[in-house]
Structure 1
Amino acid sequence: MTAGIDTPDRRGRTGLDRQGRDLTGNPRVRIVDVEVLSCDWYVLRKTTFDFLHSDGHWSREQRETHDRGDGATVLLHNTDRRTVLLTRQFRLPAYVNGHPDGMLLETAAGLLDDDGPEEAVRREAAEETGLVIGAAERVFEVYMSPGSVTERVHFFAAPYDTAGFSEGGGGVAAEGEDITTVELPFEEALAMVRDGRIADAKTVMLLQWAALDGPFRRADPPEPPPCGFPQGAGGEASYRG
């Protein structure tokens, strides 16, 4: 008997080796086998499949995939004050891979678990910032690292004001979280993206969206006048000699 396959693992999951076996959406892919390599918390699988190449030949391939479930994130913004509310917390993988102290500035985010995407961002905003948010705007969905990680992240934006704060925030102590909130002028947050002080992908994406198409988008410039000579009363081109 194997935990996560025949018997529940530490998160109560079984049948983890069946994920992906029944995929039929792509006729160029035939799943042969799925092997669970690890399921201590997230799931690491090795999938064997046959792949039809563009030149018509088939090859047998193997890929390892890291399954941590899907996630959701939300940019909290205040357009009157032109500010955004971010979080700061320690991220071991970033620290191991060269970040000076591993303390990253991020938008509030978390895994969906058993919630829908919007419910998840409301939960995470409350847990991490102590903020109860109102209407949340769905922005887009992104596969963050499709070469190896299955996670799809749902992106949202929501306005905030000080009246929305409640008791709480700081993360979930039982999960070892120690999160602080950081309110920044929007222009400063963009500058921090440019100089690398903000280096978290989801946060960079939401800040750039906010500047290009979101709540801090600048008004479109007026249309330029048409090129060419001005038109006369009858529609003919006119000019002065």
Structure 2
Amino acid sequence: MPEDRIRIHKVETLSDDWFLLQKTTFDYRRNDGSWQRQTRETYDRGHGATILLYNRERRTVVLVRQFRFPTYGGGHDGFLIEAAAGLLDRASPEDRIKAEVEEETGYRVGEVRKVFEAFMSPGSVTERLYFFVAEYDPASRIGDGGGIEEEGEDIEVLELAMDEAMQMMADGRIADGKTIMLLQYAALHLL
């Protein structure tokens, strides 16, 4: 079906430094049957995974706080409170998120449960994000977390009451889309 509606004419690489930025010129067949020439820039950074650790008995969640340069400025300090996440780097979403959550939070989880997947910014970014949840308990913390210094990570681990996390989401202290989605999922289905 898409082949009947898209004709790619030209793909230009604008940058291949941190990730791949391309400009594509294509014809798009509209619903009325007419063709329209369009140009779009796409940013390909690979696919990723994210996870919300939760403790049902204590009604707590584990999140992280880290500096995100693209959010810095315009009235924001650049420090986001987020669910642990990372790029897949050719690993399965399940394997990658288990390693990532341990690197970032210090918690080792056995079973992770995929709850959904989503495109986070489909107007320009190719990334598909896989969303997971896993239960944790204090005994499953085997390290300090904090991320990998060589990758520029300097991560603070936060254990929050679910009610506090929901209040932080409501008042804007939690402003990360993937984290908001996972907290809302937890409020509806887990806690």
Considering the TM-score relative to the shorter chain, is it more than 0.5?
Answer: yes
Offset, 1:168: 4.6
- In the alignment, the residues of structure 2 paired with residue 63 and residue 25 of structure 1 have an alpha-carbon distance, to the nearest angstrom, of 17
Higher Cα radius of gyration: 1
Deviation by residue 1:30-70 (Cα, 9 ceiling, x = unmatched): 11121111010111000111111122211211100011100
Offset, 1:96: 2.8
Is 1:125 the counterpart of 2:125 in the alignment? Answer: no
TM-score calculated relative to the size of structure 1: 0.77
Offset, 1:94: 0.8
Trace 1:28-177 onto structure 2 (pairs within 5 A): 28-99=5-76, 101-177=77-153
Offset, 1:163: 1.2
Identity of aligned residues (%): 57
Question: Which residue of structure 2 aligns with residue 187 of structure 1?
Answer: 163
- In the alignment, the residues of structure 2 paired with residue 204 and residue 139 of structure 1 have an alpha-carbon distance, to the nearest angstrom, of 14
Offset, 1:25: 3.7
Residues 134 and 159 in structure 1, CA contact (< 8 A), matched pair in contact too: no
- In the alignment, the residues of structure 1 paired with residue 73 and residue 7 of structure 2 have an alpha-carbon distance, to the nearest angstrom, of 37
Question: Which residue of structure 2 aligns with residue 21 of structure 1?
Answer: none
Query: What count of residue pairs does the alignment treat as equivalent?
Result: 191
Offset, 1:97: 4.0
Query: Where does the alignment leave 5 or more consecutive residues of structure 2 unmatched?
Result: none
- In the alignment, the residues of structure 2 paired with residue 215 and residue 137 of structure 1 have an alpha-carbon distance, to the nearest angstrom, of 12
Larger strand proportion, structure 1 or 2?
2
Question: Which residue of structure 2 aligns with residue 197 of structure 1?
Answer: 173
Offset, 1:26: 3.9
Is 1:27 the counterpart of 2:4 in the alignment? Answer: yes
- In the alignment, the residues of structure 2 paired with residue 57 and residue 215 of structure 1 have an alpha-carbon distance, to the nearest angstrom, of 48
| 1:120 partner amino acid | R
TM-score calculated relative to the size of structure 2: 0.96
Q: Which contiguous aligned blocks of 4+ residues in structure 1 show a shift greater than 6 angstroms?
A: none
Which structure has the higher relative contact order (CA within 8 Å, separation 6+)? 2
Question: Which residue of structure 1 aligns with residue 190 of structure 2?
Answer: 215
- In the alignment, the residues of structure 2 paired with residue 45 and residue 110 of structure 1 have an alpha-carbon distance, to the nearest angstrom, of 22
| 1:112 partner amino acid | L
- In the alignment, the residues of structure 2 paired with residue 86 and residue 97 of structure 1 have an alpha-carbon distance, to the nearest angstrom, of 24
Offset, 1:98: 3.0
- In the alignment, the residues of structure 2 paired with residue 71 and residue 108 of structure 1 have an alpha-carbon distance, to the nearest angstrom, of 11
- In the alignment, the residues of structure 2 paired with residue 108 and residue 79 of structure 1 have an alpha-carbon distance, to the nearest angstrom, of 18
Larger helix proportion, structure 1 or 2?
2
| 2:159 partner amino acid | E
- In the alignment, the residues of structure 1 paired with residue 27 and residue 117 of structure 2 have an alpha-carbon distance, to the nearest angstrom, of 28
Query: Where does the alignment leave 5 or more consecutive residues of structure 1 unmatched?
Result: 1-23, 217-241
| 2:185 partner amino acid | W
Question: Which residue of structure 2 aligns with residue 234 of structure 1?
Answer: none
